[in-house]
Amino acid sequence: MRITKRTNIAIRVLMYCAAHQDRLVTKAEIAEVCKASENHLAQVINQLGQMGVIHTQRGRNGGLELARSTKEIEIGPIFREMESPVPLAECFADADSSCPLVSACRLRLALQDAAEAFYDRLDGVTLDGLVCNNTALLSILAPEPCHS
């Protein structure tokens, strides 16, 4: 299974926020450290805000921060939400598929079951588990220690 760029950026945003829980972080600094375009970041940040995972503050001293504790943020629901508009196979994208097998294809169900198993596995993974005490990651994202 391959995740979209959008989901990848979402997890980077959350990791960066988790590494800097003592302050608001900016889109520009995330873009620089995580090698992501500010355009993509803006869209992802908006979606994460709508999901209630991050809190954004506008204005001169604005930025973003986690809306909940790192221990309360599970990765599975984030993946589900970010990946939900993307079909697992092109032929499942719409009802007007050119594939003559779509109406009888059992692969769709098998792939949906496999994707759900993938997401179920991620349900037990928290942002805290990904970031805190991960010295290699924190040395990239922030020189100071992680505060849960």
Domain ranges of the chain: 5-141
What is the pLDDT at residue 84?
82
What is the pLDDT at residue 101?
79
Mean pLDDT of the chain: 87
Percent of the chain with pLDDT over 70: 86
Over the stretch 116-132, which tens digit does the pLDDT of each residue have?
899 999 999 999 999 98
φ/ψ of residue 135, rounded to 5: -60, -35
Q: Which has the minimum average pLDDT: 83-87, 97-101, 118-122, 142-146?
A: 142-146
pLDDT > 70? residue 25: yes
CA distance 138 to 93: 39
Q: Which has the minimum average pLDDT: 53-57, 64-68, 110-114?
A: 110-114
- Please give the model's pTM, rounded to 2 decimal places: 0.84
Given a contact cutoff of 8 angstroms between Cβ atoms, the answer to whether 125 and 78 are in contact is: no
Question: So what CATH class is 5-141?
Answer: mainly alpha
Given a contact cutoff of 8 angstroms between Cβ atoms, the answer to whether 13 and 41 are in contact is: yes
Cα dihedral sign for 102, 103, 105, 109?
Answer: positive
Mean pLDDT, rounded, for 27-37? 91
The full DSSP string for 36-65 is --HHHHHHHHHHHHHTTSEEEE-STT-EEE
Mean pLDDT, rounded, for 98-104? 78
Q: Please, which pLDDT band fits residue 24 given cuts at 50, 70 and 90? A: very high
